[in-house]
């Protein structure tokens, strides 16, 4: 079964609506952009979640470290899944794993370099690899939530060629919505899919009907 993560959750109500729609995980952005929340908002979102819907914190690393404020939040709310941005080094990933976190490595896919660039990153992290890879569309000005898709056929070709066999689980992000996610799942066969702008009513505000339709499309295609 392909898992569903609904990212860019900005309120407890949206977190509950995502869980009610059947999301396996939700993303709480502590990094940048219009969906960023502060640590108090993040705590309220995480604490509103019912059991079996996993909070994932999008966090920035500086010099390979999390800030004290973010670490306090993660400990207080028992958030163990962290999606990494910023100064993500092999030592940082290893340290997070040693401390009991489940680091998700974000990789922005470009046709010129993929999948060789991903192979190089993973080789450097061979002793302590990330728990999953979030493959997202490349945008020089934005970390995510761009609404732009990755080239699914390129990922499918890499999978058929056996290039992804030894990789951690792949989470497909970038430009997904209720109308195209079934095709994306059938083409790429990811371990999970990640959506943000594709299930919004307005920027930062989720649409419950779109979330339900998205989850239903994933379930029917996997």
| 173 backbone dihedrals φ, ψ, rounded to 5° | -125, 175
Is residue 148 very low, low, confident or very high in pLDDT (cuts 50, 70, 90)?
Answer: confident
- Residue 9 CA to residue 57 CA, distance in Å, equals 10
Side-chain half-sphere exposure of 123, counting CA atoms within 13 A: 6
Mind listing the pLDDT tens digit for each residue in 188-199? 999 999 999 999
Mind listing the pLDDT tens digit for each residue in 7-51? 999 999 999 999 999 999 999 999 999 999 999 999 999 999 999
Is 3-221 a domain of CATH 3.20.20.70?
A: yes
Catalytic residue among 7, 24, 53, 194: 7
Query: Is 139 among the catalytic positions?
Result: no
Query: Is 7 among the catalytic positions?
Result: yes
* Tokens encoding 199: 């299930």
Task: Please give the DSSP secondary-structure letter assigned to residue 99.
Answer: T
Mind listing the pLDDT tens digit for each residue in 66-107? 999 999 999 999 999 999 999 999 999 999 999 999 999 999
Residue 185 has what pLDDT? 97
Catalytic residue among 14, 53, 77, 136: 136
| Size (the chain), residues | 222
Task: Please give the DSSP secondary-structure letter assigned to residue 62.
Answer: B
Classified as helix, coil or strand, 198 is helix
Is residue 111 very low, low, confident or very high in pLDDT (cuts 50, 70, 90)?
Answer: confident
């Amino acid at each position: 079964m392909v898992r569903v993560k609904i990212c860019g959750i900005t309120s407890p109500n949206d977190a509950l609506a995502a869980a009610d729609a059947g999301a396996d995980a939700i993303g709480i952005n502590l990094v940048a952009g219009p969906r960023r929340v502060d640590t108090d908002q993040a705590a309220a979102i995480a604490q509103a979640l019912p059991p079996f819907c996993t909070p994932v914190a999008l966090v920035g690393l500086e010099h390979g470290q999390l800030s004290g404020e973010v670490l306090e939040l993660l400990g207080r709310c028992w958030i163990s899944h962290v999606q990494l941005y910023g100064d993500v080094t092999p030592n940082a990933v290893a340290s997070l794993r040693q401390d009991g976190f489940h680091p998700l490595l974000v990789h922005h896919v470009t046709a010129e370099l993929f999948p060789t660039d991903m192979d190089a990153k993973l080789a450097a992290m061979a002793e302590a690899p990330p728990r999953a890879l979030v493959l997202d569309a490349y945008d020089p000005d934005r970390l995510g939530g761009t609404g732009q898709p990755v080239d699914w056929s390129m990922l499918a070709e890499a999978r058929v060629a056996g290039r992804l066999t030894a990789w951690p689980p792949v989470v497909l992000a970038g430009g997904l919505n209720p109308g195209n996610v079934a095709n994306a799942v059938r083409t790429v066969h990811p371990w999970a899919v990640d959506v943000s702008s594709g299930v919004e009513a307005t920027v930062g505000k989720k649409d419950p009907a779109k979330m339900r339709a998205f989850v239903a499309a994933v379930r029917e295609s996997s």
